[in-house]
Chain A
């Protein structure tokens, strides 16, 4: 596998990650969201491994493995259990309708490409073209957190945002030092547990997981 093939493969994977990010925006069913999220994690893991192989950085294999375990298996499983226990079967509700969201998303992607154009010209990494995708994934994750109403979907948005960051790290600098990545991976896991606990707390307090109910927490005028 030569370098130009690796770069092409990486571009394809980047495109797939971007596609899954749009998929997360468009998906109405909550289990569907989980599947797409797992898929995104899988593409991310493969992409990391490819970068690791082509750049000859073997610690990236460990990152890839971590991503595979955490983001494809463990986290979706935890969320699955959570959704099951909390009996959330409804369709996902959003603030803005889906076509509009997609249009905003496209604008964000174009904007990301515009932003990263100067970096692409300076960098000589094989992954340089994917930085725009990484940034777009971060923004789409944030957009998802903004437009969704339910707490669970917010978490998926947050995790997708983290995927984008991770992808940015591998594409821009061939990954962070291993220690940092291990730390981040552990943080994500712990965050998932904390979210789980909070969901139960939120539901017992407000009888719903709709974040609208939390509006009454603010100070009375």
Chain B
């Protein structure tokens, strides 16, 4: 196997996935066997793809292949370079973990509904994502992109008996296709400038790379591609599908969609912005930066106000995509001023965050799936105290929360730290305007980090700590082993990526080197593998291993101090301040925890709060019931989507009036058309 080239390995992985999708319907009678078989094969395929991606980045070479399939004279071009290799690694690594997780998770559906569809589209979805990353011409790219979009549509509406799910899936498909049209137009523009608008020979990416597009048209092509990919990535204000689609999809699918599918859009932005179009204008980077900042701040604020666990995680994906775009935007700005080192630092931060976000968001969605599996509850207000019942899920979920909040020694810290480093170096830019504005961006990213930490304190505190908030005590059971292994692997990689950043950066450095002709690994590991020094040791340094050991020592000391004597830890009822009986309704819950945020940032949302007092009719003096109702809506929905949806319905009704159901009227239409055409012939 090792003698194969990375591209051959990747193709083998894709073929295994496609074959699994083809075989799955045959096994649909035996659902348990089907689940074990297909998810094990997709895990194996993912593992092969991980090796392929890893080898492609390590080797640093470019491999390409022309497949003689597709339309006549339009063969499919494949290309495997370090950038594709890195994203293939992300997709396949999370795909591997989620496939193992799915063996346990999907079995919960057996007996309720047939899972054949889920299995088939899961494999197609994985294959589609890998093909997007491998394709090297606009035609094959769009085919793969659609394969990915359509199969994920079917995954989102897997539980299609509920109208809400179908609605979410439709919204997803709609926005995905608006994005796809924009991407297609952008490719058409680039292909046209490459080889002329009369023929199709400009459809390969290599032709686009070699072409020289006029400045203005390059900007048009870039922004069409950017907004097209932004629709897939869930950038505000195109994020509307994300909080609808992620919660209703099965949790393994949401883990993949949020963890890696959004990254294919980031891949597209980097591919178009840095590789296909080599024109550089700082304003492009500025726009990307602004959209990234808005997404980051709005995403986390929305997340804070949610009570639905998976919806909250979906909004948090918006935030993380925002941070990645901030890095990409900064890299573009630095690149346009010819500051290769800083550009590669910012790009590195973005890429690192892609990898990290895939890991911790995958872990969190898998954890949410485990919680859902255990409690059959998505609303956090009905949970609590799960830390005692889910002995495995709770600590693993905590790892995810710590990582996403950006706390050392986990991986979230490294990439956010790198982001801040690139912000802090921006005063070197020769533009006074940018020097004024970029610190504001840094402040917003800092705000985002703080709000993210607050958000995940809420998630963990409300879900796992305290007492059970639901009406009845439901039977809660821990997730089966495959699910635990999937989460364990993700948690372990969160920790590993957090402790050994120098190795990761050394591995990744080939990407900025090929795209920006500058590398940071020489300066980043100048002080050895122990210290990460992005630019220079005297400027900033971070040693994850030392911090990790320090944290371990502190924990060990505390543990030893408190557990050395049996009397030092005492379990007793909570002191109730002499009030009497404490019920589980007297705890902080999700709504009350986010109240300060709601007060401060309420103007950004459409919030409706109603309080009703209802009294007991037999004892009017006592027992006043207070009903509190809160409704938080997305203001952007009303601003950006409602007008379009209203207008299209209005237009549809107008057009519908033409349809009378009377044959004579229809004939009259044809008759008048005939007359008019004859008049103007």
- The answer to whether B668 has its CB under 8 Å from any CB of chain A is yes
Q: Which of A197-218 contact B (CB under 8 A)?
A: 211-212, 214-218
Whether A211 and B664, one on each chain, are in contact in the complex, defined by CB atoms closer than 8 angstroms, is yes
Of A5-13, A23-31, A63-71, A139-147, the one contacting chain B is A139-147
- The answer to whether B569 has its CB under 8 Å from any CB of chain A is no
Contact check: which of B661, B667, B678 meets A218 at CB < 8 Å?
B661
Whether B661 and A215, one on each chain, are in contact in the complex, defined by CB atoms closer than 8 angstroms, is yes
Q: Which residues of B contact A95 (CB under 8 A)?
A: 664
1/0 per position for B666-681, CB-CB distance to A under 8 A? 0110110011001000
- In the complex, what distance in Å separates the CA atom of A216 from the CA atom of B660? 9
For chain A, the count of residues having a C-beta within 8 Å of the partner chain is 21
- The answer to whether A190 has its CB under 8 Å from any CB of chain B is no
Q: Which residues of B contact A216 (CB under 8 A)?
A: 661
- The answer to whether A124 has its CB under 8 Å from any CB of chain B is no
Q: Which residues of A contact B668 (CB under 8 A)?
A: 146
- The answer to whether A219 has its CB under 8 Å from any CB of chain B is yes
Nearest Cβ distance between residue B658 and chain A, in whole angstroms? 11
Nearest Cβ distance between residue A93 and chain B, in whole angstroms? 12
User: Most chain-B CB neighbours within 10 Å: which of A146, A218, A219, A221?
Assistant: A146
Q: Which residues of A contact B667 (CB under 8 A)?
A: 142, 145-146
Contact check: which of B653, B656, B660, B664 meets A146 at CB < 8 Å?
B664
Whether A146 and B662, one on each chain, are in contact in the complex, defined by CB atoms closer than 8 angstroms, is no
Contact check: which of B653, B664, B678 meets A147 at CB < 8 Å?
B664
Q: Which residues of A contact B630 (CB under 8 A)?
A: none
Whether A215 and B664, one on each chain, are in contact in the complex, defined by CB atoms closer than 8 angstroms, is no
Known: A115-B678, A219-B656, A221-B656. Contact between A211 and B671, CB under 8 A? no
Nearest Cβ distance between residue A98 and chain B, in whole angstroms? 16
Nearest Cβ distance between residue B576 and chain A, in whole angstroms? 61
Q: Which of B490-511 contact A (CB under 8 A)?
A: none
- In the complex, what distance in Å separates the CA atom of A94 from the CA atom of B674? 22
Contact check: which of B653, B662, B674, B675 meets A214 at CB < 8 Å?
B662
Known: A115-B678, A221-B653. Contact between A142 and B660, CB under 8 A? no
- The answer to whether A154 has its CB under 8 Å from any CB of chain B is yes
Q: Which residues of A contact B642 (CB under 8 A)?
A: none
Q: Which of B626-681 contact A (CB under 8 A)?
A: 653, 656, 659-664, 667-668, 670-671, 674-675, 678
Smallest CB-CB separation from A217: which chain B residue? B661
Nearest Cβ distance between residue A86 and chain B, in whole angstroms? 18
Whether B663 and A211, one on each chain, are in contact in the complex, defined by CB atoms closer than 8 angstroms, is yes
Whether A215 and B660, one on each chain, are in contact in the complex, defined by CB atoms closer than 8 angstroms, is yes
Smallest CB-CB separation from B666: which chain A residue? A146
- In the complex, what distance in Å separates the CA atom of A142 from the CA atom of B663? 12
Nearest Cβ distance between residue B277 and chain A, in whole angstroms? 47
1/0 per position for A43-57, CB-CB distance to B under 8 A? 000000000000000
Could you list 28 A-B pairs, sorted by A, with CB under 8 Å?
A95-B664, A139-B671, A142-B667, A142-B670, A142-B671, A142-B674, A145-B663, A145-B664, A145-B667, A146-B664, A146-B667, A146-B668, A146-B671, A148-B664, A154-B663, A211-B662, A211-B664, A212-B662, A214-B661, A214-B663, A215-B660, A215-B661, A217-B661, A218-B660, A219-B656, A219-B659, A221-B653, A221-B656
Q: A142-B674, A215-B660 are in contact. List 9 more A-B contacts (CB 8 A).
A: A139-B671, A139-B674, A145-B663, A145-B667, A146-B664, A211-B663, A211-B664, A221-B653, A221-B656
